[in-house]
Structures are given as C-alpha cells and as structure tokens.
C-alpha cells in the first residue's frame, strides 16, 4: 500500500457530522494528527491503539507553527502507511489545508482530502438561521475576522454591505467591534440583525441574538460563528420541535459507538457527551478463571448475568454456544437481555425489577450449581442470596472496572444540564474525576445507583421508573418538559 496523508474535515464538533469517508479513514489510521477544535467526542472514535498527536493552536498560547505542523506530517508519513490529519470544520476553509497539501506534495507524499461540514454553515443551521432565504438573501459570503499577523481587515466593506449577501464571520470574536464599525461606516443600518453561535454543536453551545449596533457590547466566547444580515433575524427554531432540544447530557458509562442510550437521546435532540467515568478492562488473571469455569459449563444448572459487560466477556469465550444447551440463563435488565439476544441466546429468568434483590426473590430454590461471571468488585447481594436458597454459587471475575482520567474540565462537567449515572460504579468514577462538582441534575438508572449518589452527598436525584435505557429516556424527556424546579 502507498503511504499517504489524509486531510479529513472533522466537521463542527458533533461526531455524527463527520463524513462516512472521514470516519472510514479515522478507523484505519496508524496515527492521527488533531487540531484544538476537534471535539473530544470525535476523538473517542479513534481506535485505542492509534497514536494521537495534538498540534492544536490555542489562542494566546505557545503552539505548533504551521511550518512545524507541515514537517511533523512529513516525518510521520515516512514511518506510517496512513496518517490522518483531522482538522476542525473543513480543511480548506480557513484551515490552512492548502498549505499542508502543498508541503506534502512537495515532499512526494500521496495525499487525500476529505471535506468537512464547516461551522460557517452548521452554526447558522443549528441556530435556525438560513444563510440564504427567498426574499431576504440570494447568497452568502464567509470572511475571517482575524488575519495573519494581525493584518488589518481591509475588506471592501461597502461592497459587502451593498451586496445584500448574508455575511458569515469566522474567528471574529476579538474584532467584532471593528467589524461592526466598518459595516456601519459603509452604510449598514445599525438595526441589522446579528446571530452569534458559540461552540457550534459542542456541549457548551450558546446562541446570542443582537444587532450590528450592539455587537461590540455583548459578551461572546470563542470559538463562535457570527452571522450578519437579514437572514440573521430569522429563527426557524426547528430544534425546539424535538423533546430534548437544547439539553446537554453527560453519559458516564464506557464509550460505545452504537450506545443505545446515546443514540436515543440524540434522536430526541439532545447534545450527548460520552465522557466515561469508568472503563472496562480485562480481568486481573487474564481471564483464566472464566475460561476454566466455561470448560465445565455443562456442570452448571444456571448461568447468571447482571450486566451486558458480563455477557460479552463470557459469550465471547465460548466457541460453540450449543454447549449452553443444558444450562438455564438468568439476567437482570433489558440491556443485559438485549446483549444475550445479539448472541442469539435467550433469557430463562428476568425479574420485573432490574436489581439484584429482585433476581434473588424470583430465583427458585435448589441445590445445583450457579456460575456468576461479573466485575471484580461488585455487590454480594446475588451470590449471598442464591447461596441462602441452597445453590452452590461460583463467582468468577469476567472484567475489571477502572476509573480513567477525566475528559472534561470540572467547569464543563458542572455546566452540563444532566448527568446520567447508569451504575453505582459510575458514581464512584464521577466523584473521583470531579471531587468538587455537583451535577445540575443527577439521573440514576435505579435505586442502588441512587443510594450510592446519596452516599457521596448528591441528594437531588431523579430515578427512572423502569431501570433500563427506555426508562432513562422517558425520564429525561419528562424532565425536559417539566418546570425547572421539578
């Protein structure tokens, strides 16, 4: 294969807005070179074994020069088959992608360029502002509000004003006063509408509406897209038609591209931040105990699962699922049952309440053997309860729960509208990552998780009526439609 560098537009932030081709390359990359404006949620899509090199330029801080970035891309391409240069937005719209392509081709390196959705269009769209609209604007123009080496913004302002086009300004927060004055001096009405969208599709996204005359005086945080013109006064408000529109929701369970809860919440319009408080790791013995138990699975009367992680770790070790023919399966929760069904394995016993106590209560008395693959550290309710009913229970470690480094700052974690705790272990992880943070709204999947939250001093808790993904989604939709103090 020919070694190459692929410049991939990451889009405005939301990982769902990267192109199919961009995602394909990201998953095949040997090394990924990222920008500062690449959302942390998108970085989660990069396989764990792939090296990530951050060359992001941060305002007001020492960072890689463009020449240094070019040299780094050339250097990496000499030792890797596929280098992905992941750039916020679109590589060729104020992304200096042209300079990088020029440098790479000059070094005889093969290049592929994948376009991305620019925030210049995504920002207005998510704010309900059409950059073109019949009777208001027949076109738009995108300009930068910050030139190299602080060169003056010497556009033909009169031409811009007289064109009637929608003006979209990127990187213009610091010079918004200069831009507004230049437009007014060129004849623009001070009452002309302005919409500014901060952190487009990020968790901290905010939309501000003002006028050209007041633009210099309102507080706007970078990065932001500033839209000026008649269409900036339009508010289509399409996002408000979705039940969770405008809500930022923090999911703490381990990241999964196809996470049923994350997908469902996005379908309802939420901005979902999958920043795990726990990670699932291999068992401490490398899986020896689990493998040994499964070699004699036909000696067990029951196989008990309380999580989808236990299901995946166990069934992935079984080469021929027909060996389970003589063993009954018990599980807790619809998510655990769904994990079984993905392997075409049924569940013989699932309690109506998705907690260990309910499983024990519904489990028959007996004198046979039960295999219980679970996390290394977990509650003893199930094994102790089944033992009390006469069963011989073998608890084997199927995985470990690890607390990773936090992916967000404490300020951002505290600013999110809802934090969803899907297991007691996510409470422990969250408290370890953010010891001083109290979430705005804490949502627990069930009473066990809620008790753990109370144990760490978080008392204002909403608990799902059904202890499942569906129950959580319904609870969040109810919260979004209820008064703020509900």
Structure confidence at residue 467 (pLDDT)? 67
Residue holding tokens 């992941």?
86
5 beta partners: 83, 111
pLDDT value of position 408: 87
Query: What is the share, in percent, of the chain residues with pLDDT greater than 70?
Result: 97
> Is pLDDT at 220 greater than 90 in this prediction?
yes
- Indicate if the pLDDT at residue 58 is higher than 60: no
Helix and strand element counts for the chain (H, E): 17, 20
The pLDDT, as a whole number, for residue 1 is 59
Compute the CA torsion angle 169, 172, 175, 181 (nearest 10 deg).
Answer: 20
pLDDT at 485 over 50: no
What CATH code is assigned to 4-117? 3.40.1010.10
Return the closest-CA partner of residue 349 out of 365, 331, 335, 361: 331
pLDDT at 203: 83
Which fold is adopted by the domain 248-278+405-481? Rossmann fold (3.40.50)
CA distance 299 to 3: 53
Of all residues in the chain, the percent with pLDDT exceeding 90 is 75
The one catalytic residue among 28, 30, 39, 57: 57
CA-to-CA distance for 146 and 178, rounded, in angstroms? Answer: 11
Averaged over 477-481, what is the pLDDT? 85
Give me the helices (H) in 299-370, please: 308-315, 334-342, 356-362
2 has pLDDT over 90: no
Q: How far apart are CA 59 and CA 191, in angstroms?
A: 31
Q: How far is CA 128 from CA 238, 241, 243, 333, in A?
A: 6, 12, 16, 39
How confident is the model over 313-337, as pLDDT tens digits?
999 999 999 999 999 999 998 889 9
* Chain centre distance of CA 432: 20
Mean of pLDDT values over 141-169: 94
Q: What is the mean pLDDT of the chain?
A: 92
pLDDT for res 176 = 97
Note the pLDDT of residue 254.
84
Confidence of residue 202 (pLDDT cuts 50, 70, 90): confident
> What is the DSSP code (8-state) at residue 385?
H
What pLDDT shows up at residue 36? 80
pLDDT in tens, 360-412: 999 999 999 999 999 999 999 999 999 999 999 999 999 999 999 998 899 99
For 342-355, write each residue's pLDDT tens digit: 999 999 999 988 88
pLDDT at 456 over 90: yes
CA atoms within 13 A on the CB side of 195: 27
What's the rounded Cα separation, in Å, for the pair 126 and 478?
Answer: 23
Domain with CATH 3.30.950.10 in the chain: 120-233
- What integer is the mean pLDDT of 197-224? 94
Beta bridge partners of 280: 401
291 classed as catalytic: no
Mean pLDDT score, 279-305: 96
CATH of domain 120-233: 3.30.950.10
Q: What are the beta bridge partners of residue 444?
A: 421, 463
| Cα–Cα distance, 15 to 112 (Å, whole number) | 21
Which residue in the list 14, 28, 30, 35 is annotated as catalytic? Answer: 35
- Higher-confidence residue of 292 and 268: namely 292
Res. 56 pLDDT band, cuts 50 70 90: confident
**Average pLDDT for residues 425-434, to the nearest whole number?**
96
pTM, to two decimals: 0.81
Is 438 annotated as catalytic?
A: no
Q: Where in the chain is the domain with CATH 3.40.50.10090?
A: 248-278+405-481, 286-402
Provide CATH code, domain 286-402.
3.40.50.10090
Residue 59, pLDDT above cutoff 80? no
């Amino acid at each position: 294969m020919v070694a190459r560098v692929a410049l991939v537009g990451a889009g405005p932030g939301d990982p769902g807005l990267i192109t199919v081709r961009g995602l394909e390359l990201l998953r095949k990359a040997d090394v990924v070179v990222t920008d500062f404006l690449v959302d942390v949620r998108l970085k989660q899509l990069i396989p764990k074994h792939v090296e990530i090199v951050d060359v992001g330029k941060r305002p007001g801080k020492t960072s890689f020069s463009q020449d240094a970035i070019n040299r780094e891309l050339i250097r990496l391409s000499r030792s890797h088959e596929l280098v992905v240069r992941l750039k916020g937005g679109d590589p060729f719209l104020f992304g200096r992608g042209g300079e990088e392509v020029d440098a790479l081709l000059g070094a005889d390196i093969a290049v592929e360029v994948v376009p991305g959705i620019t925030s210049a269009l995504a920002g207005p769209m998510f704010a309900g502002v059409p950059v073109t609209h019949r009777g208001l604007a027949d076109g738009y123009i995108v300009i930068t509000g910050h030139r190299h080496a602080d060169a003056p913004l010497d556009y033909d302002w009169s031409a811009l004003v007289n064109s009637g086009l929608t003006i979209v300004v990127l990187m213009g927060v610091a010079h918004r006063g200069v831009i507004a004055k230049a437009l007014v001096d060129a004849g623009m009405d001070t009452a002309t509408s302005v919409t500014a969208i901060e952190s487009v599709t990020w968790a901290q996204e905010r939309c501000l509406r003002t006028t050209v005359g007041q633009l210099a005086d309102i507080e706007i945080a970078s990065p932001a897209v500033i839209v000026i013109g008649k269409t900036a006064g339009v508010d289509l408000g399409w996002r408000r038609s979705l039940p969770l529109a405008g809500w930022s929701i923090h999911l703490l369970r381990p990241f999964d591209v196809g996470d049923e809860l994350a997908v469902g919440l996005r379908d309802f319009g939420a901005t979902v931040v999958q920043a795990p408080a726990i990670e699932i790791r291999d068992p401490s013995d490398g899986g020896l105990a689990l493998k040994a138990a499964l070699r004699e699975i036909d000696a067990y009367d029951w196989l008990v699962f309380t999580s989808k992680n236990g299901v995946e770790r166990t069934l992935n070790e079984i080469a021929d699922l027909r060996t389970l023919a003589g063993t009954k399966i018990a599980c807790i929760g619809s998510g655990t049952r769904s994990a079984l069904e993905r392997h075409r394995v049924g569940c013989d016993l699932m309690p109506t309440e998705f907690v260990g106590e309910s499983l024990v209560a519904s489990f028959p008395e007996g004198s046979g053997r039960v295999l219980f693959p679970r996390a290394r550290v977990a509650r003893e309710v199930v094994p102790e309860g089944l033992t009390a009913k006469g069963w011989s229970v073998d608890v084997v470690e199927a995985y470990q729960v690890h607390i990773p480094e936090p992916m967000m700052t404490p300020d951002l974690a505290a600013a999110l509208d809802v934090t969803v705790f899907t297991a007691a272990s996510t409470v422990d992880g969250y408290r370890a990552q953010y010891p001083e943070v109290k979430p705005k709204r804490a949502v627990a999947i069930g009473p066990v998780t809620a008790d753990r939250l109370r144990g760490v001093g978080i008392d204002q808790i909403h608990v799902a009526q059904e202890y499942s993904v569906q129950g959580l989604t319904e609870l969040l939709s109810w919260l979004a439609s209820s008064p703020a103090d509900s």
